[in-house]
Amino acid sequence: MPTTAMFNPIDPAFIQDPYPAYAFLREYSPVHFEPALGGWFVTRYDDVRTVLTDPRTIRPPAGDMLLGRLPDEVRGELAWFEEKLATSLAFANPPEHGRLRALVARAFTPRTAERIRPEIERVTEQLLDDMAAKPDPDVLRDLAYPLPTIAVSRLIGVPDEDVEGLVGLVGDAMKIIGQALPSEDPIAAARNASLATEKIFDYLEDLIAWRRRTPEDDLISQIAATPGYDDAELILTVLVLINGSLETTAHFIGNATLALLRHPAQAALLREQPELIDSAVEELLRYDTPVPVTPPQLTTAPIMLSGRRVEAGQLLFPVIGAAHRDPVKYADPDRLDITRDPPGTLAFGGGVHYCIGAVMARLEAKVALPALFGRFPELRLTETTPLFRPDPVLRGLTAFPVHL
């Protein structure tokens, strides 16, 4: 029986199919120390849930986590950027995190989601019309990316003509999150992220000032009129919301579509019984989540995980992708079953950092998937095998060509 785990999160074979490695870790080394990261990979469901929700774990300082490998002179050069990372919604800890979350919580409720459902349905139908007219349809390019991009931009209040440029800058800025794992050129990644963040600040400062003069029915107008927050806090919150509502939702729709195409009986069942969409979305989130490894947590006191004592001051990496295939929690976990009622999905994290955009992500998937498979009943993969992007933190395809 193996007593050590060989685990390389950037190995190309692992990127394409991480689940055998996750199963190995879960069985033989469920709390696995990874020297390259200086932290512990946690892979069993109950342990992952503990890491996400236990008050003895907090978000570590963003600068140390994301910029800690940089030379001191480079890190000094990026001091402004490090300060912004540290004070953003994604990395703040209580009580500051609660104050920032309250700024936008009202905009991401089930009631709000249902209010904008007709617009999401209309946009989806238009995207599918456009997709049908293209000689080389691609699920990612033509549906999975533009749908959440349009939805979150209109909810926030970014003018249509500015969306593409702003989303590109947000993507560049948030690539730094991947630098918690090894990178070929972390210095270039950090500098590019810092430059993109400066451009985002310039743009959103002007937009917030405009919305204060001429408010509209959007999130920027709402938060710009909220007392007690400075513009930097507003801008950082908008940046995190765009990133969190775009990349993860896009790749969830992509991963879910791929899973259904690889399980045609399940796709046929969804076509025949579209009322299964609620359980289907939860099962697809479990089966191949777009965020298999969440940002690490830092222990503030000793904590026991699968019989191992982890001391205070240690980094814990919750591996949601492994937790979602834990046979202790899920019967026959490697089987896709859209009729399953999967308990307690961790796809949106947990505790105080539970994803604020979860309601919107679920709604967009519940609209997009039945529409896609209903509109194109002969939808199928091309001869080109879809490849996953080389990123162990955000699981998604590089491209997704299909035959309609």
Per-residue pLDDT reduced to its tens digit, 43-94? 999 999 999 999 999 998 877 777 877 888 888 888 888 888 888 887 888 8
Q: 379, 403 in Cβ contact below 8 A?
A: yes
Decide which of 365 and 116 is more confident: 365
Q: 114 versus 296: which is more confidently predicted?
A: 296
Q: Report domain extents, the chain.
A: 12-403
- What is residue 180's predicted lDDT score, i.e. its pLDDT? 44
* Mean pLDDT of the 305-315 span: 96
Of residues 124 and 111, more confidence is placed in 124
C-alpha distance across the termini of the chain, in Å: 47
Two tokens at 138? 């691609």
Residues 6+ apart with CB under 8 A from 111: none
Q: Which are the contacts of 72, defined by CB distance < 8 A and separation ≥ 6?
A: none
Q: What percent of the chain has a predicted confidence (pLDDT) above 90? A: 54
pLDDT of residue 130: 97
Distance of CA 71 to the CA centre of its chain: 29
Fold of 12-403: Cytochrome p450 (1.10.630)
Average confidence (pLDDT) over 27-56: 94
Backbone angles phi, psi at 184, to 5 degrees: -65, -35
For residue 184, what pLDDT is reported?
60
Q: Is the pLDDT confidence value at 364 over 60?
A: yes
Q: Per mean pLDDT, which range of 157-161, 181-185, 367-371 is the poorest?
A: 181-185
On average, the pLDDT of the chain sits at 89
pLDDT of 1 reads 41
Q: In 3D, which of 40, 41, 14 has the Cα closest to residue 320?
A: 41
Q: In Å, how far are 32, 76, 125, 151, 365 from 249, measured between CA atoms?
A: 29, 34, 18, 11, 8
Q: What is the pLDDT of residue 2?
A: 46
Query: What average pLDDT does the segment 310-319 reach?
Result: 96
pTM exceeds 0.75, yes or no = yes
Give yes or no for residue 124 having a pLDDT over 90: yes
- Binned at pLDDT 50, 70 and 90, residue 139 comes out as very high
